[in-house]
Amino acid sequence: MATKTMNLREMLNEAVEGVEGAYAIGLVGLDGLGVEMVNADPDNSDDTEANEEMAVQMASLMAAVTKGASYLGGGKIKDLIVEAQDRTFLASMVDKEYFLVLVLNAEASMGRGRFEMRHIINKVRREI
């Protein structure tokens, strides 16, 4: 029996559905352009706009942290966690040009989010 491979959107949908309290997940370039963004509620256009802006801001932050870590001799950045009052942003580098970002509400399990990120990141690496 042939195994069906998942496309990027399907992988991201699976990940966002696997974490209770997830708002969105996306593959983003360090240039700030979202390659693919998936909202937990695809009918909410406000979420779509907010997530596109979030992608730009996270890319800027990832670039700055990457530069800072290199300057300080810390090596390559693997993960970045930004925990704000209402949202938590988990970002993981996929390769030198792209990262995944998972947006969680304040009550979501960060551990579950990190687990899903580790699970999906290897699949995404094979796709890009």
CA distances from 116 to 18, 54, 69, 91 (A): 7, 20, 25, 12
Domains in the chain: ranges and CATH: 8-127 (3.30.450.30)
pTM across the whole model: 0.85
Report pLDDT for 6.
Answer: 67
Residue 56 has pLDDT above 50, yes or no: yes
* CA geometry: angle 74, 123, 50, nearest 5 deg: 75
pLDDT at 2 over 60: no
Q: 87: part of which helix (H) or strand (E)?
A: strand 87-93
SS3 126: helix
Distance, CA of 89 to CA of 96 (rounded, Å): 19
Q: Give pLDDT, residue 34.
A: 82
